[in-house]
Amino acid sequence: MTNQMNRGFKKQRGAALVIGLLLLLVLTLLAVTGMTTATTELVMAGNEQYRKNATQASSAGVERAIGNINTVPTVPNAAPTVIPQTAIENSTTDFYSTETRYVGEEIGLPQSSADKFVGLHYVIESTGTSTRNASDQQVQGMFVVAAGGGRGNDGNFNKLGGGL
């Protein structure tokens, strides 16, 4: 009986070792693939955060341009008013730049007396940038109701009350 067992062991000749090494190779490949996937997802999450930072920078540019709308000349086809690349407060990587242009005016606004008010149309284009070439561009239209006849040339849109 011992002879029969010895003959069985002699026929195997290290098959268990080969199978064990193959299983170890498969496990190693799975581990490497898992680490690569995790690293890729981490980079993707970072890129998404930078894209959101660029979007917020672009929005900040729109807000600043709205605050400076009275500096835009109300002459059709005039050169746009440009705010050059400006850093976001407390940031060294997020910037915005804007272009604001006057598009035209609308008279005879609904529910207003004839020629007492005029609507001034503006277009604001803001570009925000962040790390890893993240970029976002926003285009915002703006409509200012001003006293008729003034066309906003005095920089205060002929203020009525506490409005613009």
Residue 99: name the closest of 85, 120, 119, 118 by CA: 85
First-to-last alpha carbon distance for the chain, in angstroms, is: 106
For residue 77, what pLDDT is reported? 86
**Taking residues 132-155, what's their average pLDDT?**
79
The pTM of the full predicted model, rounded to 2 decimals, is: 0.70
Q: Is 155 left (phi over 0), alpha (psi -120 to 50) or beta?
A: left
For residue 75, what pLDDT is reported? 87
Cα gap 66→158, rounded to integer Å? 17
Per-residue pLDDT tens digits for 5-42: 666 566 656 788 889 999 999 999 999 999 999 999 99
Per-residue pLDDT tens digits for 51-85: 999 999 999 999 999 999 999 998 888 899 999 99
For residue 159, what pLDDT is reported? 46
CA dihedral 126, 88, 156, 116 (to 10 degrees): 40
pLDDT of 158 above 70: no
For residue 113, what pLDDT is reported? 67
Residue 97: name the closest of 72, 130, 62, 146 by CA: 62
Report the share of the chain in percent with pLDDT over 90. Answer: 60
**Taking residues 126-153, what's their average pLDDT?**
85
Report the share of the chain in percent with pLDDT over 70. Answer: 80
CA atoms within 13 A on the CB side of 117: 13
Cα gap 128→50, rounded to integer Å? 11
